[in-house]
């Protein structure tokens, strides 16, 4: 079974940080309550990406990750060639996140911004009950099952860019004056910043005859 090792830094209400490592083996891109499965090998925290088409669509998303101490809320970016299949996207997720239950009461105050400008994204977390791997809403709030990550796309937030491009995304918590940030650097795959690539070298420590371990 494939998995992605998620290494979050969970910032709590007292400004302390816990660091659970969580295996994710099911991932979904969620839009309007409907989910599209995403292969977990497409999840990663790498923010410098190479693009293969002239136009790339970047869709900011809330990430929800199932975790024993309570679902984690973070920031993610769904990145795909414009017009490409959603389940062939890269999903970049921040390692910094919050505990959902600590912020649930003010979800409607969170602002998802792109490039420093608020992008009219102040929406409550939608229901996740339609997804078979994810529990329905309960009295305790949203619950995401063990090993599952859900990436809630906010409608109308798609950004089309042509690499090279840099995008700065953030989820802003105005009440606690903090934010989760994600800075994406997109570079055309054909671009090589190092024009001359020499033959790789093998070096030896001591001068003279040595036993090689190849």
Partner 1 sequence: MEYAAYAATMQAVWFSYDHGESWNRLLTPTGGFYNEARCWAVCSHPDRPGEVLAGTDQGLYRYTARENRFDFVPSPMDDLHILRIAQHPRDPDFIVCGTRPGEIFLSEDAGRTWMRSNLNAATECWFINTTRITSIHFDPIDTDTLWVTIEIDGIFRSEDRGKTWTRLVDGLADCDTHDLVFIDGDNGKRTVLCSTEAGLHKSTDNGDSWSLVPVPDDIAPWLYWRSIKDRADDSGVVLASVGDKPSGEAGVLLISKDCGESWRRAALSEPVNSTIWSIATHPANPELLFFATIFGQIYRSRDGGESWQKMRRELGEIRMIAWSPVAQAQ
Nearest 5 degrees, angle CA 12-CA 5-CA 138? 55
Q: Can residue 138 be called a binding residue for partner 1 (CB under 8 A)?
A: no
**Do 19 and 9 meet the contact criterion of CB atoms below 8 Å apart?**
yes
Token duo for residue 100: 């959902």
Closest distance to partner 1 from the beta carbon of 193 (Å)? 8
DSSP state of 120: S
Select 82 or 185, whichever has its Cβ closest to partner 1.
Answer: 185
For residue 152, give Cα distances in angstroms to 160, 172, 207. 18, 16, 59
Contact code string over 68-107 relative to partner 1, x by CB under 8 A: --------------------------xxx-----------
Q: Which of 2, 7, 118, 146 binds partner 1 (CB under 8 A)?
A: 7
Q: Which of 2, 32, 37, 48 binds partner 1 (CB under 8 A)?
A: 48
Q: Can residue 47 be called a binding residue for partner 1 (CB under 8 A)?
A: yes
**Interacting residue ranges for partner 1, rule: CB under 8 A:** 7, 9, 12, 15-19, 21, 45-48, 94-96, 183, 193-194, 198, 200-207, 210, 212-213
């Amino acid at each position: 079974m494939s998995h992605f090792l998620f290494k979050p830094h969970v910032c709590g209400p007292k400004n302390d940080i816990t660091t659970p490592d969580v295996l994710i083996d099911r991932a979904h891109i969620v839009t309007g309550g409907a989910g599209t499965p995403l292969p977990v090998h497409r999840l990663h925290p790498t923010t410098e990406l190479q693009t293969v088409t002239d136009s790339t669509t970047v869709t900011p998303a809330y990430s929800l990750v199932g975790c024993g101490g309570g679902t984690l809320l973070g920031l993610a970016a769904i990145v795909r060639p414009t017009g490409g299949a959603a389940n062939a996207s890269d999903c970049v997720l921040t390692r910094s996140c919050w505990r959902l239950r600590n912020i649930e009461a003010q979800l409607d105050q969170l602002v998802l911004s792109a490039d420093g400008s608020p992008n009219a994204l102040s929406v409550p977390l939608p229901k996740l009950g339609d997804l078979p791997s994810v529990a329905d809403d309960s009295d305790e709030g949203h619950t995401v099952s063990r090993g599952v990550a859900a990436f809630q796309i906010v409608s109308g937030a798609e950004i089309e860019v042509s690499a090279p491009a840099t995008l700065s995304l953030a989820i802003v918590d105005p009440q606690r004056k903090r934010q989760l940030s994600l800075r994406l650097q997109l570079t055309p795959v054909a671009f090589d910043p190092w024009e001359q690539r020499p033959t790789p070298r093998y070096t030896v420590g001591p001068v003279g005859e040595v036993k090689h371990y190849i």
